[in-house]
Amino acid sequence: MKDIFDLLGRILLSFIFFFEAYDYFAYERLNKEAMTIYGLTWNQDFFLYGAIFLLLVGAITLLLGYRMRTGAVLLLIYWIPLTFVVHDFWTEPADSTEYRLQSILFMKNIAIMGGLLIAATHVSGKYRLRRIFATTNV
């Protein structure tokens, strides 16, 4: 049962990063406009496609349970700056709806960072890529 929960947890955690990569690719123009709003005007293509690369590679390694520490670090390289730049609730008036929304999203991202740190220190269970290849006679 532990191995099934491990696999299910990796699937659920990696899903948000796959979705974010898809969103960046599907809504490229809107994401570039958002980058401009946040003051990131230099080499937007590099940052956008770099983020997609980090998200996809990190999510794949997390999903497969192979080199999870590397994948978690790649995702944290993307996720930490995003959290502090985009969800800066401390710049909003304390009684505003925007303050409440951004503080909730900030705390959710902090929780995701905690999950990534756990994944970085965790060895996957029975359902991981390395174990499947190690037990298969080819």
Domain boundaries, the chain: 2-134
Output the pTM of the full model: 0.85
Q: pLDDT, tens digit, for every residue of 102-117?
A: 999 999 999 999 999 9
Nearest Cα to 38, choosing from 76, 78, 80, 82?
82
What local confidence, expressed as pLDDT, does residue 126 receive? 74
Residue 74 CB coordination number (10 Å) = 22
Torsion on CA atoms 93, 98, 99, 105, rounded to nearest 10? -160
Determine contact, residues 75/62, Cβ cutoff 8 Å: yes
Per-residue pLDDT band at 6 (split at 50, 70, 90):
confident
